[in-house]
Chains A and B, each alone.
Chain A
Amino acid sequence: MISWWQSLTFARRSGAILLALIVLAALFGPAMATDPVSQNLDRVLRSPSLEQPLGTDHLGRSMLARLVHALQLSFSLALLSVLSAAAIGISLGLLAAWRGGVIEAVLTSIADAVMTLPVLLVVLLFSAFAQGEFWSLYVGLSFALWVEYFRVSRATIKATLVSAPVESARMLGFGNLYLLRRHLLPELAPVVGTLMLFGISTAILALAALGFVGVGLRPPTPELGVMMIELFPYYEEAPWLIASPVVTLGLIMLALALLGGRKEMP
Chain B
Amino acid sequence: MLNIISRLLFRRCLQAVIVALLVSTVSFFLMHSLSGDLAFRIAAGRYGYDMVTAAAAEAVRAELGLDRPLLQGLLLWWQQLLQFDLGDSYLTSAPVIDEIREQFGHTLQLALSALALSIAIALPVGLVTGLNPHGWLDRVSLALSIILRAFPPFLLGILLILLLSSKLGITNAANASHEHGGLLLPALTLALGLAAVSSRVARDAMVEVRRSAYFNFARTKGLSDLLALLRHGIRNAAVPVIAYLGVQLVFLMEGVIIIESLFAWPGIGHALAHAVFGRDIPMIQGTAIVMGLLFVLCNTLVDIACLVADPRQRYLVTRRADA
Would A253 and B18 count as touching, CB distance under 8 A? no
Chain A residues contacting B254 (CB-CB under 8 Å) are 118-121
Give residues of chain A (190-233) contacting chain B, Cβ–Cβ below 8 Å. 205, 208-209, 212-215, 228, 232-233
The interface size bin for chain B is 35 or more
Chain A residues contacting B173 (CB-CB under 8 Å) are 232-233, 235-236
Quick check: is B261 within 8 A (CB to CB) of the other chain? yes
Please choose the segment from A22-30, A60-68, A122-130, A155-163 that sits at the chain B interface, where 4 or more of its residues have CB less than 8 A away: A122-130
Q: A232 to B154: give the CA distance in the assembly, Å.
A: 13
Smallest CB gap from B277: residue in A: A215
Closest beta carbon of chain A to B296's beta carbon, Å: 6
Quick check: is B147 within 8 A (CB to CB) of the other chain? yes
Give residues of chain B (268-323) contacting chain A, Cβ–Cβ below 8 Å. 272-273, 276-277, 279, 281, 284, 288, 291-292, 295-296, 299
Would B296 and A116 count as touching, CB distance under 8 A? yes
- How many residues from A make CB contacts under 8 Å with B? 44
Chain B residues contacting A213 (CB-CB under 8 Å) are 257-258, 261-262, 273
Q: Mark B12-43, 1 if CB is under 8 A from A, else 0.
A: 00110011001100110010011000000000
Please choose the segment from B112-120, B179-187, B245-253 that sits at the chain A interface, where 4 or more of its residues have CB less than 8 A away: B245-253
Given that A125-B288, A257-B146 are known contacts, is A117 also in contact with B172, CB under 8 Å in the complex?
no
Please choose the segment from B56-64, B155-163, B227-235 that sits at the chain A interface, where 4 or more of its residues have CB less than 8 A away: B155-163
Chain B residues contacting A258 (CB-CB under 8 Å) are 146
Would A124 and B22 count as touching, CB distance under 8 A? no
Would B258 and A209 count as touching, CB distance under 8 A? yes
Quick check: is A37 within 8 A (CB to CB) of the other chain? no
Q: A103 to B228: give the CA distance in the assembly, Å.
A: 49
Quick check: is B140 within 8 A (CB to CB) of the other chain? no
Please choose the segment from A46-54, A105-113, A168-176 that sits at the chain B interface, where 4 or more of its residues have CB less than 8 A away: A105-113
Please choose the segment from A79-87, A90-98, A181-189, A242-250 that sits at the chain B interface, where 4 or more of its residues have CB less than 8 A away: A242-250
Q: A127 to B281: give the CA distance in the assembly, Å.
A: 12
In the complex, which of the residues A208, A212, A264 contacts B201, with contact meaning CB atoms closer than 8 Å?
Answer: A264
Would B174 and A233 count as touching, CB distance under 8 A? yes
Max chain A Cβ within 10 angstroms of own Cβ: one of B200, B247, B273, B299: B273
Chain A residues contacting B14 (CB-CB under 8 Å) are 109
Quick check: is A177 within 8 A (CB to CB) of the other chain? no
Smallest CB gap from B287: residue in A: A121
Chain B residues contacting A127 (CB-CB under 8 Å) are 276
Top 7 A-B residue pairs of the complex, sorted by shortest distance between their CB atoms: A254-B150, A113-B18, A253-B150, A118-B253, A120-B254, A118-B254, A233-B174
Question: Can you identify 22 A-B contacts, CB atoms within 8 angstroms?
Answer: A109-B14, A113-B19, A117-B22, A117-B291, A118-B253, A118-B254, A118-B257, A118-B291, A120-B254, A120-B258, A121-B254, A121-B257, A121-B291, A125-B276, A214-B277, A233-B173, A233-B174, A235-B162, A246-B159, A258-B146, A264-B244, A265-B197
